[in-house]
Amino acid sequence: MPELPEVETTRLALSLHAEGGTLTAVSVRTRQLRWPVPTTALQKLRGQALLSTGRRGKYLLLHFEEAVLIIHLGMSGRLRILKKPTPPTKHDHLDFVFDDRLTVRYQDPRKFGSVHLTGRHWQKHRLLYQLGPEPNDLKAGDLKKRAQGRKVAIKNFLMDSRMIAGIGNIYATESLFAAGIHPMRPVGRLSEARFVRLVKAIRIVLNKAIRAGGTTLKDFLQPGGETGYFAVKLLVYGREGLPCSKCKTPLKNIRLAGRSTVYCPQCQR
DNA sequence: CTTTACACCTGACTGC
DNA sequence: TGCAGTCAGGTGTAAA
């Protein structure tokens, strides 16, 4: 999916193009994504202005006058901004029309994404209330505390949204490479210094990706249709067998919690 | 409590 | 050309 940088890129585009606009129509063509689409409730958004946009982990937040629309893009979800309406195709599940002239289209072949409506206490939503801190607010010391006594591999820990919000397979992989930490290392016995390095690495990797407009893989495009161009900067993800960019050792691929995990056996310990 | 396995869904790709 | 198997950016839930 869209991991945090892709969601942030999407948020930015929405804020640029749709913020301040009034929602004039909502079409629901698919009633069941990962969770049931609140078809009826969505119609109540008509006539409301989009006041601001936000993000919590990988959840997009659209703040309307009387409600908050929460959107998750799952593995293959994408929001596109269309200035001219084109006929919806197979996986175009929802349209949000602003001021009768701008369509925000939700497309998601795998349907692992979801949309929810909630009130102003969105933080209490059952899917959001236990999210960990945003990567930019992360404190190495807090993270170390939460890791105390746990045996999980550091990579699985990074991808646990209750520990940190918004880190998925790509950026967990990249951050560990940047920090020089072996993805299988038990998290409970990592030194303070390594947590400090890791937290810095996470911030740098994510912020670089956001600046580049997100990673383009199979099906993520920026909402306007431009491709992100961060893919060229991925140093380990998807590079199994290729030489490590630092030491030329062939990168290895292992499976952790069912997810492919690429690392340098020389640089990451 | 922690940890793991599975579920959901579609499409792309590989090998026979 | 077809078909079976594998893999893919996520995450809630059940089971161990």
Structure confidence at residue A211 (pLDDT) = 82
Say which nucleotide is closest to residue A35, CA to C1' distance: B8
**8 Å CB contact between A51 and A63:** yes
Structure confidence at residue A65 (pLDDT) = 98
Q: Which residues of A are catalytic?
A: 2-3, 58, 259
Name the residue with the least CA to C1' distance from nucleotide B10.
Answer: A110
Token couple for A113: 């994404």
Spans of chain A below 50 pLDDT? 217-219, 229-231
Residue in the structure block whose two tokens are 């349907």: A111
Distance A16 CA to C7 C1' (A): 36
**8 Å CB contact between A198 and A179:** yes
| Contact between the CB of A89 and strand B at under 7 Å | no
Q: How far apart are the first and last CA of chain A?
A: 28
| Contact between the CB of A156 and strand B at under 7 Å | yes
Of A9, A23, A220, A190, nearest to A103 (Cα)?
A23
- Which residues 78 to 107 of A reach strand C, CB within 7 A? none
* Residues near A22 by beta carbon (within 8 Å), at least 6 away in sequence: A47, A48, A49, A50, A98, A99
**8 Å CB contact between A35 and A116:** yes
pTM score: 0.94
- Which residues 114 to 153 of A reach strand B, CB within 7 A? 150-153
CB hemisphere CA count around A226 (13 angstroms): 11
Distance A66 CA to B5 C1' (A): 41
Burial of A23 (0-12, 13-18, 19+ CB in 10 A): buried
CA distances for A25 relative to A48, A95, A98, A172, angstroms: 10, 8, 7, 38
Say which nucleotide is closest to residue A156, CA to C1' distance: B3
Nucleotides of B under 7 A from a protein CB: 2-12
Structure confidence at residue A215 (pLDDT) = 58
| Contact between the CB of A87 and strand B at under 7 Å | no
Structure confidence at residue A210 (pLDDT) = 87
